[in-house]
Amino acid sequence: MTLKIRNQLLKTFFYISVVTIGISILTLVVCGLTHRIITPPELRIPAFLNSIPLAKNSLIATFLGIGILLFYIPITLFFINRFFENTQSTEIVFFGAFLIGCLCEVSRFFTISFGVWQTFTNLLIFLGNIVLFGRILTPLSLVCASILSEKEQRQDEERNFLLMVTSAIVFAFLIPMNTARISSTGLVTEGFMGLLNAVRVLLVILSMISFYIRSVRHSNKEYIHLGHSQMALYFGYTLLISTDNFLYLIFGAGLLGSGTYFYLKNLHKMYMWA
């Protein structure tokens, strides 16, 4: 993928994210004024959150968590376009996939705003599939950024990206959705939820190990810093997509913001001196 094509795709994604924010704000205003917003059932994941004072269930916190992810996308893309416009970085391509995964969380917003979670329709299943696609894509993109970003793999960048996205789509639509079990965050729960969460954690650990190996191979500690910051931003993202309380919201936003800052900073420093 040439720099020109990559930059054009990122700019297009930037405009799509801005339009999505505009539609979401309009939807929130209209549904709020017409009293269509119905709070999802208080199915907490994990259930012990009810016993923590700062972790009481809050629909406002859920909406703010989704909102932070939506605004995070164009802000991050703005800085990527500014500092990486002339940098041939495969990591940036895969980070774009991570941002696509973040955008998929808007499906939960529409699920709650239009009361779709009360139905057992194909639309509810489809919205659940979109969220699941995003949650599969995000850890996959981080693993690919750590494993498939060597210079000799740059020529296979497009193929690897398409394989990653295709894999996420296939699994998202193969895994069954449980429309009878909606979480407090507006999530349509999926089958094998515990197994999927364990796989996500293992993928992030694999990514961290890969950065350590690259650090030793290239005698460059920047890879270790990339691994640490990547892990921070992913767990910040994980807290935000699970946000139904202000405790998760505060820590999630902090980890995602600081993790992204140091990830891009270290990546820029690494390529600047390459």
Domain boundaries of the chain, sorted by first residue: 3-34+54-272
3-34+54-272, CATH topology level: Rhopdopsin 7-helix transmembrane proteins (1.20.1070)
Whole-number Å distance between alpha carbons of 118 and 114: 9
Measured CA to CA, the distance from residue 85 to residue 241 in angstroms comes to: 29
pLDDT one-digit tens code per residue, 208-256: 999 899 888 888 888 899 999 999 999 999 999 999 899 999 999 999 9
CA quadruple 184, 185, 187, 193: dihedral positive or negative? negative
pTM: 0.93
Is residue 43 a contact partner of residue 184, using CB atoms and an 8 Å limit? yes
Q: DSSP letter at 88?
A: -
Task: Name every residue whose Cβ is closer than 8 Å to that of residue 31 and which is 6 or more positions away in sequence.
Answer: 37, 113, 114
Q: Kindly indicate the confidence band of residue 35, based on its pLDDT and cuts at 50, 70 and 90.
A: confident
* Cis amide prior to 139 (ω within 30 degrees): no
Burial code (b: 16+ CB inside 10 Å, e: under 16) for 90-111 equals bbbbbbbbbbbbbbbbbbbbbb
Which CA distances in Å does 167 have to 137, 198, 231, 240?
8, 18, 22, 24
